[in-house]
Structure 1
Amino acid sequence: MDDELVLDPYPSKIPSLMDPSTSIGFLQPQEINLADQCFPRPQCDFFNPFRTMDGSCNNLQYPTWGQANTASTRIIQANYSDGYAQPRKSVSGHELPSARKIRTAILQDVDKSSPKINLFVMQYSQIVTHDTEFTILKELGSNGPLKCCNKDGSTPEIIPKECLQIKISDDNNSHSKHRCLSVPRALDTSDRGCNIKPVRQMNGVSSFIDASILYGSDHETSRSIRTFKNGKLRRQLGPNGKSYLPNVKKATELCNVTYDSTVCYVTGDPRVNIQPDMAVVTILLMRLHNYLCDELRSLNPKWDDERIYQEARRLLIAMHQHITYNELVPVILGRDFARENYLLPLTKGFDDSYDQYLNPTTTTSFTAAAFRSLHSSIRGFIELVNEARKITSKIRLSDFFFKPDIIQKQDNYDSFTRGLLTQKAQEVDQYFTEEISELAVRIPDRHQHIDLISVDLERGRDYGEPSYNKFRQLCGLSEAKTFDNLIDQMDKKDIDALSKIYEHVDDVDYYVAGLLEKSKPGSMLGHTFQCVVGEMFFRLKYGDRFYYEFGHQIGSFKLGQLNEIRKTTLGLIVCITSDIYSVQRNMFEIPSSRNPLVPCNSIPKLNLSAWKEE
């Protein structure tokens, strides 16, 4: 039976479209926009048809909305123990259970593959995450990165106030001898001298789906990766003369490598080297930009470098947005949910639904909890696949954190890309591969393994996310008075596990309970994650003046151009930017008899003649 046809007894909806009496705790606009007072108002060019690099002036009335290096918004009231910035405690007044204790008891390593969703869903979702959010960590003055643990991995006697700390018990099954997990707190409005209460965390990138992962969110970064010739981005040539992202000057500073000349990429976002598939998709976008530059220049030979760059960037962002809303969102949230909440693109004409009063700034609930759930879909091993869709090799994820050089060996770029299309993702649930729950690393602490899932959980507390019960009410469910009341969304065994860890049902972390929720029909997510993620995509669409379907705005596409953009598929872009000969029709599902491979030469390309100026 098609899961889209399953009757849902608890249909979910986004808070912005719910009756106020149904969405309990949804903040009013003046509360959502509270941090506006913290940042200076930029000067805007009302006639600029292109986005600014930092996202400022997207909204001409509220020009800091979505701007890089401003604060995230809240859609639900924060819960801090002091009402300001200290992480919440149990309703009893005791400390909450350790994030590590919860992780090892409930969020374990169990291999549970999705029946049909492939790994490209996880990777493109990570692209969207990095496109819309970057957590800036607190530092100790000018002394560089904050160290919350001693060098030997033990817990310091005095913990800096800028730190959260996750203790690892001696009997814990950890691959590391360290008994302290360093978690610097996120930079917030108090660090910017703004005393709004409670604090709001800073976002280092623009909130919009604007390919800042490729272009950067400030002028200095964007200029550093441009050639200033024919609109193109910098590149390096690899095997068979193919284009790859340029190298950093000192690879040892940004990658887990021994020599400065080793492959280590630089682009608009410093997280590009985290793992190979992240770099692969960013390379895809760079190749697409330079391809569009060539096409636009051939149509408009009089255009200068700046015009070609801006037009190619504008078009690439539109294609990126179309893939996100037309292909990715229906897979993650469910097509019916996406349709009912107005998240699907139109099939013809302009959309005139831009809402200048809807704040598109990334919400704390999205970035510190709900969308982090996609970490559950990560596989511990990455498969490299040939054109016949046969696995040629497997690599262990933890062997290649911040080591992207494998991409430029032989034809591995195409093999990684086929692997993303062919390998099944893990289900989004309470299970996580040990590769990220025990063996993840970060730069510069490359020799200490971290438990990424415990950090995710602790980050939600850092951001002041209230308990799961508050999100139930926000998303139209009844308040759970006891653990047994959670049975409407969870299995009995999972409820029992929660009751053994937490003192009270009002203590349960949103991130943990959201992962335990049964997925909604047609969706990868449970009720409250679907609700909060849907709310964010709604804001990123209708609060973005430059959203590609909007007409009658400075910078709107012409109707003929919009019709071509609507032909965009991820399959088309993969075919344009690689030597892969065939792709499946639904690029976020594994190939099958219902989702067969089709030749790249059968996929219609965009006709860019609509961009030719007379």
Structure 2
Amino acid sequence: MLRRFYARINRTRPWYRLPFLLGLFNLIALRDELREDNLVDTRTPGGVGRTPGVTSATAGEERRRFRTADGSYNDLSDPDMGRAGTRFARNVPLEHAWPAEGDELMTPNPREVSRTLMRRETFTPATSINLLAAAWIQFQTHDWFAHGREPADVIEIDVAEGDDWFENPMRIPRTKVDDTRTDADRDLPPTFVNSNSHWWDASSIYGSTPERREQVRSHVDGKLVLKDGNLPLDPATGVALTGFSENWWVGLGLLHTLFTLEHNAICDQLKKDYPGMTEDELFGTAQLVVSALLAKIHTVEWTPAIIAHPVLKVAMRANWWGLAEEKLHRMFGRLSKSEVISGIPGSAFDHHGSPYQLTEEFAAVYRLHPLLPDTLEVHSLDDGTLVDSMEFQEIILLNAHRVLTSGARVQDLWYSFGVQHPGAVQLHNFPRWMQDLTLPDGLRLDLAALDIMRDRERGVPRYNEFRRQLHLKPAETFDELTDNPAWARELEAMYGDIEKVDLQVGMHAETPPPGFGFSDTAFRVFILMASRRLKSDRFITDCYTEEYYTKTGMQWIADNTMTSVLLRHYPQLAPSLEGVKNAFAPWKVQTATHATTPAADTAHATAVTGK
């Protein structure tokens, strides 16, 4: 009934234009609708080749109590669910998930879309958040998903006359083929596998294979390996030795180091409080705590920072604590079995009718490359003076370790990330340096063209069809798609047909809801998958107890925020974080005589989008 009621209302008024309570319950109705219609399994019918299920009694103590390296045995009845090397699911029906082929794959030319509609001419900042928010989302996506690529099988894209690309045609490696397909899959559209664990298990730190986990462990008191307070170098790659280090840069280095330090601090406290714990128990429990703390920070801090809408602030906090809110939760614990009243952590797990997998559409809407600026401005924490200005090419990949371990003080780097703004997620704001990026293996890519091609190649619907499948009204004209008349004319010149607009381009052109850092189109996937990643995970639901986490671990999660984690390991940051309610919002600017709050804290709704 609630779904039908809001379906009628939303024909004329979207959820974000409703009064507060109506908007809040509208979001609940939208989530229920998406759970019912937009969780599509892609696994082989009949379960051929799947690992047999086990029970708590037969799983073995390690599989029952702790997260496995590859994510297996999270659901004991279906051990392969969410495991690294298993397929991405879909948020659209499979008949709408067939990849583009032939002329459709190349129309319009992805390189021309990149150059004409996406390339940054002038940097447009998102002034209500800081650069830490941009680094954070890459840190999280490295935990969630990664597609392999086929170096020997390329897609060739014609390069126009006058283009300065170094070769013609441009060559983009295809996404790695799914080698788990059988004859039973012949009627399915192409599927792709996730090389990371699908679960929110901090695999970006711990790895998604037993081999990588062994490399990052010290095997002393449950701790992870550090060398003089920094991550050691991986001799195989030349970048930091951590769970997942692709597309490495200083922002990732800071966060990976911070939460490696946090893991080790948790181990110290656990060893003090539970001296009988084995080394493996210390490690496994600390991973549980770190994973849950990351999920909490993302849910109640990062998301409200980048989506600063009053309804969303309450809704995201309700995902964690329920509508009863944190204060009552701390005083009395869960007041109800309902996730709406008392939050998802500690509620009963529920896959909502479809085995848990992350989706191709989820990966698509998290392509937020415009967040990255062109330079990192390094300022002194002592007085705010400019210490250095580094082009991004100087702080990425093999250069990142040098910056993190020599020259600038780490507290200056943290402070600089806290006061610098990322880019707004919109057209004409894709970093130019990412449109000609050379990876450590020598592969040279235009990541904007790659983003367009990946959606087409993997069968992610184009913008209007994507909206239809997620219960949104499609744009009938280019002027309806965006409130920027100049962009509307550019889109019309590039595409001609509104139905041909690529998902990435449409989302970047779309006028977002007030306070949003990205489009309402992308947000529909967030509504569905943000809660699903928690609700399907037994370590956040049924097993979110002191038996698994210990009393110390549960208290650690409850008591900590991004700010407290930063201050535990870098107490020098205290003056710049004083009075800052959210660590992903701009920090206080330090001067020789006093600290001030940047004027950028004002006018959030326009600032976050740059519009």
Which of 459, 465, 479 is the equivalent residue of 1:464? 459
Per-residue CA deviation, residues 260-306 of structure 1 (Å, 9 max, x unaligned), is xxxx31111132x6211111111111111112222222222232211
Q: What is the CA–CA distance in structure 2 between the aligned matches of 1:414 and 1:528, rounded to whole Å?
A: 37
1:26 deviates by 3.9
Write out aligned runs for 1:17-96 (5 A): 17-18=29-30, 26-27=37-38, 29=40, 31=41, 37=47, 40-41=50-51, 44=54, 46=56, 48-77=64-93, 85=99, 87=101, 90=104, 95-96=106-107
Q: Which residue of 2 aligns with 1:265?
A: 240
1:386 deviates by 2.0
In 2 relative to 1, CA 552–133 (structure 1 residues): closer, same or farther, beyond 3 Å? closer
Q: Which residue of 1 aligns with 2:112?
A: 101
Q: What is the CA–CA distance in structure 2 between the aligned matches of 1:232 and 1:432, rounded to whole Å?
A: 41
In 2 relative to 1, CA 291–362 (structure 1 residues): closer, same or farther, beyond 3 Å? same
Whether contact under 8 Å (1:32, 1:75) holds in the other structure is no
| 1:483 correspondence with 2:477 | yes
In 2 relative to 1, CA 364–534 (structure 1 residues): closer, same or farther, beyond 3 Å? same
Q: What is the CA–CA distance in structure 1 between the aligned matches of 2:544 and 2:142, rounded to whole Å?
A: 30
Q: Which residue of 2 aligns with 1:508?
A: 501
Amino acid at match of 1:432: N
Percent identical residues: 19
Whether contact under 8 Å (2:481, 2:488) holds in the other structure is no
Whether contact under 8 Å (1:35, 1:73) holds in the other structure is no
Whether contact under 8 Å (1:24, 1:476) holds in the other structure is no
1:494 deviates by 2.2
SS of the residue aligned with 1:322? helix
In 2 relative to 1, CA 28–302 (structure 1 residues): closer, same or farther, beyond 3 Å? closer
1:579 deviates by 5.1
Q: Which residue of 2 aligns with 1:218?
A: 209
Q: What is the CA–CA distance in structure 2 between the aligned matches of 1:58 and 1:24, rounded to whole Å?
A: 20
1:429 deviates by 1.1
| 1:590 correspondence with 2:582 | no
1:420 deviates by 1.4
SS of the residue aligned with 1:494? helix
In 2 relative to 1, CA 475–276 (structure 1 residues): closer, same or farther, beyond 3 Å? same
| 1:365 correspondence with 2:361 | yes
In 2 relative to 1, CA 419–193 (structure 1 residues): closer, same or farther, beyond 3 Å? farther
SS of the residue aligned with 1:247? coil
Q: Which residue of 2 aligns with 1:573?
A: 565
Whether contact under 8 Å (1:377, 1:425) holds in the other structure is yes
1:527 deviates by 1.2
Q: What is the CA–CA distance in structure 1 between the aligned matches of 2:299 and 2:144, rounded to whole Å?
A: 15
Which of 334, 352, 366 is the equivalent residue of 2:347? 352
| 1:317 correspondence with 2:291 | yes
Q: What is the CA–CA distance in structure 2 between the aligned matches of 1:592 and 1:200, rounded to whole Å?
A: 47
Q: Which residue of 1 aligns with 2:176?
A: 187
Whether contact under 8 Å (1:231, 1:305) holds in the other structure is yes
Which of 125, 134, 143 is the equivalent residue of 2:146? 134
Which of 294, 301, 308 is the equivalent residue of 2:268? 294
| 1:337 correspondence with 2:312 | yes
Whether contact under 8 Å (1:55, 1:207) holds in the other structure is yes
Q: What is the CA–CA distance in structure 1 between the aligned matches of 2:501 and 2:553, rounded to whole Å?
A: 49
1:128 deviates by 0.9
Amino acid at match of 1:96: T
| 1:429 correspondence with 2:423 | no
Q: Which residue of 1 aligns with 2:135?
A: 123
Which of 468, 471, 490 is the equivalent residue of 1:497? 490
The answer for unaligned runs of 5 or more in structure 2 is: 1-14, 58-63, 335-345, 597-611
Whether contact under 8 Å (1:132, 1:206) holds in the other structure is yes
1:555 deviates by 5.5
Whether contact under 8 Å (1:430, 1:515) holds in the other structure is yes
Whether contact under 8 Å (2:546, 2:554) holds in the other structure is no
Write out aligned runs for 1:503-582 (5 A): 503-547=496-540, 556-557=548-549, 561-578=553-570, 580-582=572-574
Q: What is the CA–CA distance in structure 1 between the aligned matches of 2:139 and 2:222, rounded to whole Å?
A: 23
1:515 deviates by 1.1
Whether contact under 8 Å (1:71, 1:188) holds in the other structure is no
Amino acid at match of 1:457: I
Q: What is the CA–CA distance in structure 2 between the aligned matches of 1:422 and 1:574, rounded to whole Å?
A: 15
| 1:420 correspondence with 2:404 | no
Q: What is the CA–CA distance in structure 2 between the aligned matches of 1:136 and 1:221, rounded to whole Å?
A: 17
RMSD of aligned Cα (Å): 3.3
SS of the residue aligned with 2:225? coil
| 1:234 correspondence with 2:245 | no
Q: What is the CA–CA distance in structure 1 between the aligned matches of 2:505 and 2:480, rounded to whole Å?
A: 15
SS of the residue aligned with 1:581? helix
Q: What is the CA–CA distance in structure 1 between the aligned matches of 2:286 and 2:588, rounded to whole Å?
A: 35
| 1:377 correspondence with 2:371 | yes
Q: What is the CA–CA distance in structure 1 between the aligned matches of 2:102 and 2:138, rounded to whole Å?
A: 28
Which of 453, 470, 473 is the equivalent residue of 2:468? 473
Aligned residues: 538
Q: Which residue of 2 aligns with 1:608?
A: none
1:119 deviates by 0.6
Structure holding more helix per residue: 2
Whether contact under 8 Å (2:481, 2:509) holds in the other structure is no
Q: Which residue of 2 aligns with 1:406?
A: 403
1:202 deviates by 0.8
